[in-house]
Amino acid sequence: MEPLEIVAGPQAQGRLDVWLAGQCADLSLSRSALQTLMEQGCVTQNGRPVNKKEKVCPGAQYLLCLPEPKPIEAVPQNIPLSIVYEDTDLIVVNKPKGMVVHPAPGNPDGTLVNALLYHCEGQLSGIGGAIRPGIVHRIDKDTSGLLVVAKNDATHQALSAQMSVHSIHRVYHAVVYGNLKDDEGYVETWLGRDPRDRKKMAVVPEEAAGARYAYTGWRVLERFGNFTYIACQLKTGRTHQIRVHMASTGHPLAGDAVYGPRSCIKSLNGQCLHAKELGFVHPATGEWIQFDSPLPPYFTEFLNRLRKEHRA
């Protein structure tokens, strides 16, 4: 694997291993993995092996010699699936909170793809490659709800085309911090990698590298004073879109440890976000089909708690 060159900007500061971990977020290189590389002499500055405890030097050029990545193979696993609809072309599933959609470093198995390969006996679209067979769109690990998966390439291409022109109907339910001023509204921005933390997404200027247009419409369903229950309709589907958009308005999602307050609600085990409605034109029949997923127990229990506290 070719060495990775990283140049520290004039504002770079802090411990080198922490700073490098932020720069290598796209490679899923953890701080401990970088420390190991440093101990092995695989991270250098101008040919000099660096120490894991030293500070980053603004303007310095660092070279990382990374080991060859170990191949990840998605294998069938007998994992229960919540199937909402299925035919010969596609399958709509209700993903539980905590399940990763496809294998990746740190999550090599136990994913939705592993379960789908077992259930569909390998009959999934190959467009997404060996790691993401059939996956047309994704939702975060700690987001629950509806996903459509393609069983063949023609279906995958047709669904992707609907995604690209924003004709697929997707509504998410969420609980956010604070009391939204209006009953409905929208957030329309450009999203990209957070320049200060590559593991996160952020609202960025249109001209920023990798910036992508994103639109989220929202409306209030119920108010609890310190929290608001909302429905979000997506026109686009960018990474962490709802989470970043609502946080940008000053109303991050309850339970979101990444974009919310430091003292997040840990009992939610992640953001309170559910992909509730999904509708699209069936590629084979040309008919519109739409599905609705009931709120999962973690969500309804949190709502009931808020209602009780708000009435008190």
Burial class (CB in 10 A: 0-12, 13-18, 19+), 184: exposed
Residues written for the chain: 312
Establish whether 140 is a catalytic residue.
Answer: yes
The dihedral through the CA atoms of 59, 61, 67, 71 has a sign that is positive
CB 167 within 8 A of CB 158: no
Question: What are the strands, taking DSSP E only, across 183-287?
Answer: 184-194, 197-203, 212-223, 227-234, 273-281
Tell me how far apart the alpha carbons of residues 18 and 15 are, in angstroms, rounded to a whole number. 5
Question: What are the strands, taking DSSP E only, across 57-183?
Answer: 61-64, 83-86, 90-95, 144-150, 169-177
CB 201 within 8 A of CB 240: yes
Query: Which residue among the candidates 17, 140, 142, 256 is catalytic per the annotation?
Result: 140
| Short-list 139, 174, 140, CA closest to 302 | 174
CB 85 within 8 A of CB 31: no
247 SS3 class: helix
Tell me how far apart the alpha carbons of residues 237 and 259 are, in angstroms, rounded to a whole number. 17
Q: Which amino acid type is present at position 277? A: E
Q: What is the DSSP letter of 107?
A: B
Cα end-to-end span (Å), the chain? 61
Burial class (CB in 10 A: 0-12, 13-18, 19+), 78: exposed
Q: Which residues are catalytic?
A: 140
